[in-house]
Amino acid sequence: MNLLKDLLRDGKFKFGFITLCILLFLVILSFFSPYNPTIWNVVPRDLPPSIKHIFGTNSQGQDIFWQITFAIRNSLIIASIAALFSRIIAIIIGLVAGYRGGRMDRVLMSINDSFLVLPLFPILILISTLIKGRLSFVSLGLIGVFGWSWDARVIRSQILSLREREFTFTAVLSGSKTLHLVFKEYLPFVIPIIFSTIINNMSWAIGMEITLAILGLSNLEIPTLGTMLHWAISYQAMLLGLWWWLLTPVVISVFLFVSLYLLSVSISEYLDPRTRIQRIGIVKE
């Protein structure tokens, strides 16, 4: 609770946190939806926003408000899966390469650098095209395996620094095993890096999913922010004057990206000892 109070003193974190809480509330509402998000023609088509249909309806006969609740939920699930997989890979590669050094470090960093220079977007388009008909939450979330390389290098650099400190030599001389030293002594030092990068990875995953969906390369039967934009564009919603159909996922996506960005920036500043001292009021002018 003290951590949350300290973070809420920052306007950026407060705005991002409140916005994300509102979006999560919409996610909770999706579990009480009166409509199946995959069924068409359950409500009258092309109705503008009203009391009965808050965000209007689309040309597929779906209520946009309830569709957006499912879209936010599914997009966040995909982002969470991507962030989880990428963190696991980044932590293992970074810890092992930083501590072992030598040939192991060179091999792992060669693999890491290969992922850094790979043209990810064309590769994701190719993979999505090959498995388009079999895409699920997990397979969409697996795009996170391409988002670990930079974070692994950052973690490695931190471990290289920790390896030269006195407590490392003390632990080695006392007979501590490698796994105990890496995961019990080093891991707490890299947790701030993990938390400060996980939100950025979620934003990247959501953006990539939206891009693939707009291009029609993801499973369009799964309601996400990307598939909502795809169908709105395909039906030429703006040209037909159905602005609410296109505007709803666009505005929600913008608020989601902004909230995640502000949370990431605020948490990164909080974890920086210099800015943290200023924010919690220890340093007074």
94-123 residue pLDDT tens? 888 887 778 888 888 888 888 877 777 777
pLDDT at 277: 55
pLDDT at 101: 76
Tokens at 177, concatenated: 């095993």
pLDDT at 23: 96
pLDDT at 275: 57
Cα→Cα distances 263→43, 111, 160, 193, Å: 37, 31, 28, 14
Tokens at 204, concatenated: 């990247």
pLDDT at 43: 94
Instruction: Report phi then psi at 216, rounded to 5.
Output: 75, 25
pLDDT at 27: 96
User: Where do we find the tokens 């934009």?
Assistant: 229
Q: Which residues are CB-neighbours of 56 under 8 A, at least 6 positions away?
A: 46, 47, 48, 49, 50, 64, 242, 244, 245
Residues of the chain with pLDDT under 50: 282-285
Cα→Cα distances 260→106, 161, 227, 265, Å: 34, 30, 21, 9
3-state secondary structure of 157: helix
pLDDT at 15: 94
Question: For 250-281, how does the pLDDT look when each residue is reduced to its tens digit (9 = 90+)?
Answer: 999 999 999 999 988 888 777 765 555 555 55
pLDDT at 255: 96
What is the architecture of the domain spanning 61-279? Orthogonal Bundle (1.10)
CA pair distance 203, 261, nearest whole angstrom: 8
Which amino acid is located at 131 in the chain? Answer: I
Annotate 107-149 with DSSP letters as a single string.
HHHHHHHHHHHS-HHHHHHHHHHHTGGG--HHHHHGGGGGS-H
CA pair distance 12, 32, nearest whole angstrom: 31
Strand partners, 63: 57
pLDDT at 41: 93
Q: Which residues are CB-neighbours of 64 under 8 A, at least 6 positions away?
A: 53, 55, 56, 57, 58, 244, 245, 248
Q: Which residues are CB-neighbours of 141 under 8 A, at least 6 positions away?
A: 77, 78, 79, 80, 81, 82, 84, 85, 205
pLDDT at 3: 66
DSSP 47: P
pLDDT at 284: 44
pLDDT at 90: 87
Cα→Cα distances 103→183, 206, 251, Å: 21, 36, 49
Count CA atoms within 13 Å of residue 120 on its CB side: 19
Where along the chain do its domains lie?
Answer: 61-279
pLDDT at 218: 80
Q: Give ∠ CA 209-56-208 in degrees, rounded to 5.
A: 5
3-state secondary structure of 282: coil
